[in-house]
Structure 1
Amino acid sequence: MDSGAREELAGQPIVASAGLLHSLATKETLIASSTMRRPRSSASARSAAGVHHHDVKESLSSSTRSPLTMTDPAPYAVAARTLVPDVGPQGQILATAITTEVCGSRSLGVAYVAMNPLLHTHAHRHSTSDIVVTVIAGTAATVYGEELQHTVVHYTGDSMFIPAGVLHAAINLSDEVVHAVETRTDPHFHDSDVELAPGLDPTVGAIAARLQAEHAAGLLCPQPGAA
């Protein structure tokens, strides 16, 4: 990519589809993918989210673990079954996997994400963190922009980069749970990085209803390059 193209893309969401990555891999191109998560704290955050998550939370976690604090980071393996999910301020179920507090990560925070059928998040932005979301099961959409005027549909294996400060919301398009991995450039995965835009929640709801109806009718197509 030339420097002009890089400047044009700077600060814009970028989408990578699983189909595109497969085609690149067949040309012996190495593909790197990202992942993410974080632990939460209060029951008030759950009620404030206004969404029902109890059924999916039980499928994410069966036990707890003690976080580690390390001065010098070392390789650290995470078993998804040991993670403890909670609800973030944006209304997503998050199970933090990698943070400074857990394993000494200096630059990245990683969490598993779950969205119950036909639900959507609140409109929000990450004030200081770039994020990458990779869908590992299900069909979802991201709407973004100051008026949420742009839409990207995600299928299993698709990834999306969202720069810090970009307003967005996530939508589960189907009657199945969507599972994803979210990576942030906040190694603490703090709630304070999430800035809500409640005035746009009615817009998110209207867009979600439309996209879910179009998906049910088979009218939504994969992004360019998708399988």
Structure 2
Amino acid sequence: MSNMIVRERHGVDSGDGGKGFVVKGSAGYRAEQGSDYQPGISAETVGSKMIWLGIITLPAGRRTKAHVHEHHETALYMMSGEELEIWTGDQLQHCERVHPGDYIYIPAGVLHVAVNRAATPSVFVGSRSEATAQESVVMRPEMDERVP
């Protein structure tokens, strides 16, 4: 499903016989839920076992589809944009406004939708406790209409 391009890696000696990596940025992919991902650290880019780190963008005027990440937590930091709405809860009944400089935490198993009603993209640094590009996402299309 992903058209992600594996990035060029350059080894960095960690001094203990292991090796770290410097990952060069490149094109990303559109996730099933609708946001654009540019993974830097992931299972696909460096062989990570437990963490994903990268840039997540929700283009202007777009929204994600209702979904749950069954097995991993998500942490985001909004770098730029105007205002983003994050809807959470079993019935998507909670709405919070996110602005540049704000952090978002989404526990595993929490239903959510992000809505960018602004004229500029919302850009985040994101991290997940799951390393693969395909992640443990479960789409919940029956909930999409709950968010105006």
After TM superposition, the score normalised by the length of structure 1 is 0.56
In structure 1, the residue matched to 2:22 is 77
Stretches of structure 1 that go unaligned for 5 or more consecutive residues are 1-38, 43-62, 207-227
Alpha-carbon distance between aligned partners in 1 of 2:9 and 2:72, rounded to the nearest angstrom: 23
Q: 1:83 to 1:146 in 2, by over 3 A?
A: same
CA contact (8 A) 1:112 1:180 kept: yes
Equivalent residue number for residue 40 of structure 1: 2
- The answer to whether the 8 Å contact 2:49/2:131 transfers is yes
Instruction: Kindly provide the amino acid, as one letter, of the partner of residue 105 in structure 2.
Output: F
2:92 paired with 1:155 = no
Match of 2:76 among 133, 138, 149: 133
Instruction: Tell me whether 1:178 sits opposite 2:140 in the alignment.
Output: no
AA partner of residue 85 (structure 1): G
Q: Is the 8 A contact 2:68 2:138 kept in 1?
A: yes
Structure 2 alignment gaps of length 5 or more: 12-16
Deviation at 1:157, TM superposition (A): 1.5
- Alignment check: 8 A CA contact 2:9 2:21 kept: no
- Larger helix fraction of residues: 1
User: Is the contact between residue 68 and residue 101 of structure 1 (CA under 8 Å) also seen in structure 2?
Assistant: no
The aligned residue for residue 7 of structure 2 is 65
Residue type at the aligned position of 2:70: S
Residue in 2 that maps onto 1:188? 132
Q: Tell me the equivalent position of 1:56.
A: none
Correspondence 1:1-227 to 2 at 5 A: 40-41=2-3, 65-66=7-8, 74-79=19-24, 82-138=25-81, 139-191=83-135, 193-204=136-147, 206=148
Check the 8 A contact 1:135/1:156 in 2, yes or no. yes
Q: Cα deviations across residues 95-115 of structure 1 (Å, max 9, x unaligned)? A: 111113322323211121111
For the 8 Å contact 2:6–2:44, the answer to whether it is kept is no
2: distance between equivalents of 1:143 and 1:178? 15
SS, match of residue 201 in structure 1: helix
Aligned residues: 142
Percent identity (aligned): 24
Contact 2:2/2:133 (CA < 8 Å) preserved in 1? no
Are 1:141 and 1:171, in contact at CA under 8 Å, matched by a contact in 2? Answer: yes
- Range with greater deviation from structure 2 (118-127 or 94-103): 94-103
Q: Is the 1:73–1:103 contact (alpha carbons within 8 Å) kept by the matching residues of 2?
A: no
- CA RMSD in angstroms, aligned pairs only: 2.5
Encode CA deviations 1:17-57: one digit per residue, 9 max, x unaligned.
xxxxxxxxxxxxxxxxxxxxxx9239xxxxxxxxxxxxxxx
